[in-house]
């Protein structure tokens, strides 16, 4: 019973600090996610070409697995140019619409946040555990002196 009471007292005393540290760790992880290098991101791009017969033809450009350093905007410009070139050279093509570019492999946002929360939470947990022992030791020393 004494052991359970000690754990409850520890959590009621230091739990808010640990919880605040976890929230701060999540914030630090999110800030890291926003500032990190995106690395190699592949894009899948496509467009819909509408013919004079109201028929829609989709063109899709998939990543080839080779390093491609084009950005999202460059990829969108390239697919728009390709779609317009096809439309102009094809006698049935009327116009290109619904041009889209979507990332295939993008870094996940939750991993740095979880890592930040874990690291900062464990650090504060360790510090509060040591401080709790120091406070208990100082109280015991004062009792012995009195």
pLDDT tens digits, residue range 14-60?
788 888 999 999 999 999 888 876 666 677 777 777 777 766 666 66
Mean pLDDT is lowest, of 29-33, 34-38, 62-66, 107-111, for 62-66
| Position 88 pLDDT exceeds 80 | no
Q: 1 pLDDT band (50/70/90 cuts)? A: very low
| Tokens 């390239």 belong to residue | 78
Q: Can you read off the two tokens belonging to residue 84? A: 């317009």
What pLDDT does residue 113 have? Answer: 92
Contacts 24+ apart (CB under 8 A), 20-28: 21/120, 21/121, 21/123, 21/124, 21/125, 22/117, 22/120, 22/121, 23/117, 24/120, 25/113, 25/116, 25/117, 25/118, 25/119, 25/120, 25/121, 26/113, 26/116, 26/117, 27/116, 28/116, 28/120
SS3 39: coil
């Amino acid at each position: 019973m004494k052991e359970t009471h000690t754990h409850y007292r520890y959590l009621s005393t230091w739990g808010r600090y640990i919880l605040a540290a976890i929230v701060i760790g999540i914030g630090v992880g999110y800030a890291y996610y926003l500032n990190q290098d995106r690395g190699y991101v592949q894009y899948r791009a496509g467009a819909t070409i509408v013919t004079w017969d109201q028929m829609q033809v989709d063109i899709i450009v998939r990543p080839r697995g080779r390093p491609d350093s084009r950005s999202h905007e460059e990829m969108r410009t390239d697919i728009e140019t390709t779609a317009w070139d096809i439309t102009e050279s094809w006698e049935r093509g009327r116009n290109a619409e619904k041009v889209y570019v979507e990332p295939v492999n993008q870094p996940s946002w939750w991993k740095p946040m979880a890592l930040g929360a874990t690291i900062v939470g464990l650090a504060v947990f360790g510090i509060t555990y040591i401080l709790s022992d120091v406070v208990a030791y100082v109280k015991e020393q004062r009792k012995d002196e009195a």
